Each structure stands twice: as structure tokens, then as C-alpha cells.
Structure 1
Amino acid sequence: MSGVHKHPTISFRVSDREREMIEAKILASGMQKKDYFVRSCIYNRIYVVGKKEVIYQLVEELQNMQTNLSELVKQLEQQEVTLTADGLEDMRNDCMDMLQAIIAMLDGAKYLWQGVQIDKEKSPDSGKRCASICIIYGM
């Protein structure tokens, strides 16, 4: 079927200079663009710029997870689980993804409470990785 794709598209805008830098790193990596972006987004180190909005979003996501898990526990206790196996798997994946994202962000922000200096030699923009990314996770 024309125009129908199995997976969603993620897009963003960059400046001309940022695009040139990204294209150079992709060329040097020898990877396809898609693979480079996916690996960079998933495996790259995340540096967090502290803002209260980030914390509020994380708290909101954790509250949503708590509500969903509490509801599941109630259903399990009453032995009246309305969640299908696929629904349970989706919930598990959503929780795992969010928890891993929060852990990565907290790891990137630990310099805020530990006084740790960011090591420039081991920064994510060395080697075949792209520049450091500040991500605000939200669903």
C-alpha cells in the first residue's frame, strides 16, 4: 500500500552548520543515516541542563506509572485482570523505556549534586558519536 509505513517517522530541524557537522560524522562512521541516528539517540551519553520543567515532567511520568501499576496490582489481588498479554507487554515496555530514560538523565545530571567535572576526553562527541544531546523526555 503506497504511503503507509510500518514504523513512525521522527524528524527535527537543524541549522546548516549542524547539518554539515552531522553529515560529516555519518560519512566518517560508514553507517547509514538511519542507523547512525538511532544508535546516537539510544546509546549516546545525555547531559542534562537543569530546569524545573524537566523535573516536573519526570514526576508526572512517574505518577502515571504509579497509577498504572497500582491499578494492575489491584486487579491481580482481585484476580480480575482485564489487561491482555499484549497490553501487559506494552505496559512493561513503556515502564522500562521511561525508567531507562530517567536513569540516563539522572546519570547525566549527577554533576549537579556530586560536583563531578565532565571529562572532555570521554565526551559523547569523541569518536563516531554525535554531539552531546540534551533531551527532555515526555510521553
Structure 2
Amino acid sequence: MEIFVFGAVVVLFFVWLLVKSRSQQWCVLCAAVSTTWAGLVVFRLSDVEVNETLLALLLGASATGGYYWLARQEKLALFKLPIFLTLAIAAYQVAVWSVKIDLVLLLVGLWLLFGLIALVRVNGTLVKKIIECCRNW
């Protein structure tokens, strides 16, 4: 099973590389990984046994890639934590194929808190520390 999953990433990488034009701004590796885990989800829904560890690994890779892609945008710098947790929790919920309401509520609260921080910006030091949390480590 593992060879087919990782082999799919390789094959899909080259398929997406052929499909992508020079003007398009998306990551071929990200597309290959995402297509592979989406295929595993389809197999799971079709009652085909899938390697859950590999599914979780690929979901995590997509979540991490998505985080780094979004974190490059300066206007979203303040929202690194809620972006990361949203992507990680979404990947987890796909992996376990269940919606955990407590995690959804955690995200709602976190986004509201960071939205309030962005609106108010009462403490410039706090905002600066949040934005620079991952720099210079």
C-alpha cells in the first residue's frame, strides 16, 4: 500500500507539472500531495481500506504547506496561530472523519480573539510579539 501512495505522489507531481502553465502561481508538489490524500479519502468513502497513518501524514503536509503559503502574506502575519490551528484541526478532522465541536468552538473563540486584537490593537507590543513569534529563532 505504501509504495502506491508515495508512487501516486511522484506520478501526480509530473502530471501536475505538465498541466501547469508558466503563468500559474501554485505549487505542483502541493497539488500532488493534496490530490493523493483526496484520493485516499475517496477510497475510504468507497469502503476501500487505506493506510490511516499515511493519510494523516499527507494531510499534515498539506496543512503545513498551506500555513507557509498563507504566512508569507504580510497582511495575515498577526493571524499565524489561528491560521495554523485551523489548518491543523481541519486536517485532523478529515483524518478521523469526524467533526469535533469542541475544536470548532476553540477555533471560533481564537478567531474572535485575534479579530478583536486586530481591531483594537491596544497593545502594540503584544501585536508585535505575535507577528514576530516565528522570526529569528
TM-score by length of 1: 0.33
Q: Higher relative CO (CA 8 A, sep ≥ 6), structure 1 or 2?
A: 1
Give the TM-score normalised by the residue count of structure 2.
Answer: 0.33
